[in-house]
Structure 1
Amino acid sequence: MPGLIGIYPFGLGRENWRLARFVYYGLLALQHRGQELASIITYDSGGFHESIEKGTVDEAYTEEKLNNLPGFIGLGYVAPSIDQKPVIIDHPIGLILVGDGKPNLESRVQSSWRAFAEMLADEIHRTGDALESARRLIEEIDGGFSFIALTENQELIAGRDVHGVKPLEVGSLGFDLGAIASESSALDVLGMEHITHVNPGEIVRFNPYSIEKARAKPKDKPNLSYCSFEYVYLARPDSTINGIGVYEVRERIGMLLAKEKPVKADTVIGIPETAIPFALGYSKASKIPASLGFITTGRKVRTAIKPSLFERLMGVQLKLNPIKCVIDGRDVVLIDD
């Protein structure tokens, strides 16, 4: 469930870009996918520059840190656990990889991604072709995952498993910058045009003058398995994933719920904030007015992805304070996502 973003400049003068701040703003839009660890990796003639920090994006990166991160290619990552980090490979080629989900290689998530990154680096070193190397790996390795990798050869490579479990969306800023991210909202906040999604089993390679694609062809026909959790909870409602609007899905679920479970009530309330689109859909279909029933205290926090039960319980207590005048003495349809 981590959030990934990669930003890549094209053409002459590409070395003049400083992309750390672009990555920072993209990560702010993906903060809901991971609040325990934030990472910005950049690349220039001096090699890789890595900044891997605990905490939220705005806590981890001050103006000074961003100003001290040079580099014209950028990679960003947020994670729900400090145990999930970017994988840094030094040999046989330099490569840094960030991933969402899990390749079926090891029992632990981080170990699986390290094995995947090592295999990718070995294959690129052997063949000299990053696109073909990534295609072969995706054909051979099962699991539900997406990844973005940056190599010492100034190539940005991204791909999804053949089932399409974890999303990746592609965007651009004119002909100057290309980008790839877990959700389209990260592209929107950067003022980029959302172009398309990476298809299941597809690999995308950015190089200085072009974008190339390849498609894995596994022996057995895979079953498409888009992650339903993205649509019902994890993704931002203003995101589009796999060509499907997240808000539209949530509203339609609420409308279907109203048809399947009709009741008489005075108001409809969604709880927590991610459930509001469901409540609005229920209200639209049932003609029962919707109300705002709860107010958040402090920073918005995704309690469901907090690492411990205590933090989840405290987070709920802080973020869900009821508006009593909306609830007292009324029959309420309360919808929890």
Structure 2
Amino acid sequence: MPNEIKGLNEECGLFGIWGADNAAQLTYDGLHSLQHRGQEGAGIVSNENGQFHRQRGLGLLAEVFADPQKIATLPGTAAIGHVRYATAGNHGIKNIQPMFFDHPGEGQFALAHNGNLTNATQLRRDLTKKGVQFQATSDSELLGELIQTSSQTNFIDQLKASLNQLRGGFAYLLMTPQMMVAALDPNGFRPLVVGKLANGAMIVCSETCALDQVGATFVRDVEPGEIIIVTDKGMQIDHFTTDTHLSICSMEYIYFARPDSVIRGISVHEARKRMGAAIAKEAPVKADVVIGVPNSSLSAAIGYAQASGIHYDMGMIKNQYVARTFIEPTQAKRVRGVSMKLSVVKSVVAGKDIVLVDDSIVRGTTSSYIVRLLKRAGAKSVHVRIASPVLKFPCYYGIDIQTTKELIGANHSVPEICQLIGADSLAYLSVNGLVESIGALNDQPNHGLCTAYFDGQYPTPLYDYQAGFDADVARLGLYEGAN
């Protein structure tokens, strides 16, 4: 079994606003609702009549902006902000976004990125040959450098040409003195939405929960291959490519997004409830009570209980003031973090046969700890039901799992995993059950979803990662012709 207690690493969160007197404060408020997407660092850049101001730092948003005077140093009617979890690049202040770049025509511009580029290594080599000296180690910097070295004559054309050189998953927010620009990769792996305030200010952000936070109205999703340009004159929709194929990350619905968000018209909470109901039908079991692992699994647990007719109760409590354990830098701190953040309501579980619903099993050690915790509290039996399929394959589009060595599902059968985590039974949702639970986003074969983590069917070539993927498949014999 993997010896590290570590969950799935979130994506980054983006928030940008154009045309509001209190732009930096609204950006802070919006980012606060996106904190679940990145807890390593945060930053905000404001635009005051073309003059940029920036504050950024390591830690949670509230820690970075603990001094209220920091927001006061960010004047202007436009701003973009970012909360980060590192999927590429080192953990350090140089990689905390938004990043600054100089442009001969536009002056300074700022950039924030969510995702992971699959051809970053080759792009960095090419740019290095052109004499580019990088300011950071993150792949997020590459777009800015491509724009700076583009042979096109204006910013939007340079941006389009640069975006067409990128491969993988990317959602970008850029800001020049004259405009805010959003761009989404041709597969739309990550969510990106447009909203509007009553005063006419335009917002682009990662999830609709951030629109709700600042009192904005949802306008539309950013579509794959689109560029959204916001200026004082309003919003313009453009494209850098029309060769698109929607493949939004299914893990957004399973785990990453907040349950009160809506992604492409589908409520995350309701989708998770349907996942729980589906695994209840696929793998029924007799039990006294259904409990969920807080917090991302609670919706699925409710769905399981409703479909099975088994009583749902709050069997576990999460300490909201303990950071997610994958952020911790050492194994000892991660183990201590898990023990501090979860506790059992003994009156709910003692003497009961328990259905424990979780959203996923990555490495297995957290699940093992929870099962032991429940049994120490007096549970007669613990039947684990996972409201997603077996996680067997890495993600190369923004989730920080890029080798099968990390995945218990890639290295053990379901019965073996059941034994390793100490459960009395274990079942996972099928891929078909997952797709049906989320709902078809289009009529294409993948229904608009990326399920590569479960079935190895990647919607794009893997470029930098292809050799490693082939080696993993050969080593484990997981899947023939998976790409």
TM-score, normalised on structure 2?
0.64
Alignment partner of 1:6 is 2:16: yes
4+ runs of 1 displaced by more than 6 Å?
A: none
Shift of 1:217: 2.7
Aligned-pair Cα RMSD in Å: 2.1
Aligned to 1:239: 261
Taking the aligned partners of 1:308 and 1:184, their CA distance within structure 2 comes to 34
Superposed, which structure 2 residues align to 1:1-337 within 5 Å?
1-9=11-19, 17-45=21-49, 47-61=51-65, 62-81=67-86, 82-83=91-92, 84-86=95-97, 87-92=99-104, 93-107=107-121, 110-123=137-150, 126-130=152-156, 132-152=157-177, 154-217=178-241, 221-299=243-321, 301-304=323-326, 306=328, 308-337=330-359
Taking the aligned partners of 2:22 and 2:201, their CA distance within structure 1 comes to 12
- Gap runs ≥5 in structure 1: none
Q: Deviations over 1:146-195 (max 9, x none)?
A: 0101113x210111100111110110002521000010100101000011
| Contact 2:184/2:227 (8 A) holds in 1 | yes
Aligned to 1:335, the other structure's residue is in SS state strand
Taking the aligned partners of 2:249 and 2:333, their CA distance within structure 1 comes to 26
Taking the aligned partners of 1:260 and 1:314, their CA distance within structure 2 comes to 35
Q: 1:296–1:263: structure 2 CA closer, same or farther, 3 Å change rule?
A: same
| Contact 2:43/2:82 (8 A) holds in 1 | yes
Aligned to 1:205, the other structure's residue is in SS state strand
What amino acid does structure 2 have at the position aligned with 1:85?
I
Q: Deviations over 1:249-277 (max 9, x none)?
A: 11110010000011111110000311000
Shift of 1:300: 5.2
Aligned to 2:223, the other structure's residue is in SS state coil
Structure with greater proportional strand content:
1
| Contact 1:163/1:226 (8 A) holds in 2 | yes
Q: 1:212–1:49: structure 2 CA closer, same or farther, 3 Å change rule?
A: same
Shift of 1:326: 0.5
Taking the aligned partners of 2:30 and 2:304, their CA distance within structure 1 comes to 32
| Contact 2:188/2:246 (8 A) holds in 1 | yes
Percentage of pairs with the same residue: 36
Taking the aligned partners of 1:206 and 1:46, their CA distance within structure 2 comes to 15
Aligned to 2:280, the other structure's residue is in SS state helix
Q: 1:310–1:42: structure 2 CA closer, same or farther, 3 Å change rule?
A: farther
Q: 1:267–1:99: structure 2 CA closer, same or farther, 3 Å change rule?
A: same
TM-score, normalised on structure 1?
0.90
Q: 1:126–1:138: structure 2 CA closer, same or farther, 3 Å change rule?
A: closer
| Contact 1:80/1:307 (8 A) holds in 2 | no
More divergent stretch after superposition (98-107 vs 305-314): 305-314
Shift of 1:201: 0.9
Aligned to 1:100, the other structure's residue is in SS state strand
What amino acid does structure 1 have at the position aligned with 2:12?
P
Taking the aligned partners of 1:195 and 1:22, their CA distance within structure 2 comes to 18
Aligned to 2:463: none
Taking the aligned partners of 2:18 and 2:78, their CA distance within structure 1 comes to 5
Q: Deviations over 1:10-53 (max 9, x none)?
A: xxxx6xx1311111101110011111101011011361101011
Q: 1:283–1:119: structure 2 CA closer, same or farther, 3 Å change rule?
A: same
Aligned to 1:179, the other structure's residue is in SS state strand
Q: 1:244–1:272: structure 2 CA closer, same or farther, 3 Å change rule?
A: same
Taking the aligned partners of 1:181 and 1:193, their CA distance within structure 2 comes to 12
| Contact 1:97/1:147 (8 A) holds in 2 | yes
- Gap runs ≥5 in structure 2: 1-10, 125-135, 360-483
Aligned to 2:401: none
